[in-house]
Amino acid sequence: MAESDIQKTFDNAQRIVFLTGAGVSTPSGIPDYRSKGGLYTNDKSDHPAEWYLSSDALNQEPKTFYAYMMKNMYYPDAKPNVIHTKQAEFTQKRNAFVITQNIDNLYKDAKTKNLIEFHGNLYDVYCTKCGKHIDYHEYLKSMYHTEDGGILRPNIVLYGEGLNAQNISRSVDAVSKADLIVIVGTSMRVYPFAGLIDYRSSSAKVIAINQEKLEFPFDFTMVQENAVDLFDKLEVN
């Protein structure tokens, strides 16, 4: 699809939904955990990454869980890149939603409206004892809540935990009403997030922007290029 055709597709859309993953944040210096050399494939720890990011690890070995979080998950100096900011602009000026697998807070930093953080947010931290939410800077210093000694944790969906039901229903609703669905920086292989595409309208156009070629059992437009380049040129009209 030519650049002019892509621009025209965005211009003509009435309701846009962006479905995004780790590839959106790699240009901001945050690694794609599942790619070659990423956390899930290159980790030399005693357990697989999925264990360290599980409710079992948090409950059974909270100090190990905390150490892993601090070493691998937090990038507080990362800044939104043009993909975040341009998608945020779409949500500010157009009828658009962002549904992301990312937990890195960069969409919020970019002032994204109509944002659904499907797997939660690392920078939303609360105490497991009293339930109080605290500034994440406190968590970066200690795993314990200074007020009651409770163990702190990020409000993300760990392995072994269920997804937020409201996030699921809002996501399904947004996808089902969209006439343009734009997949960016994700292989769409992780369920249940990947299953959201099944709720699309039969008349909705689907564009996938990814450096890795994707395959779907329905008609869609594959734009196999760096999303940074595409969003840098894309205009929000």
| Segment 40-53 mean pLDDT | 71
CA distance 53 to 198: 28
Structure tokens at 99: 């549904």
The 10s digit of each residue's pLDDT in 48-85 is: 888 999 999 999 999 999 999 999 999 999 999 999 99
Nearest Cα to 75, choosing from 28, 15, 131, 39?
A: 28
The CATH homologous superfamily to which domain 1-30+80-119+163-237 belongs is TPP-binding domain (3.40.50.1220)
Burial 106-145 (b: 16+ CB within 10 A, else e): bbbbbebebbbbbbbbbbbbbbeeeeeebebeebeeebbb
Domain ranges of the chain: 1-30+80-119+163-237
* pLDDT at res. 37: 45
CA distance 125 to 108: 15
How high does pLDDT run on average in the chain? 93
Catalytic residues: 119
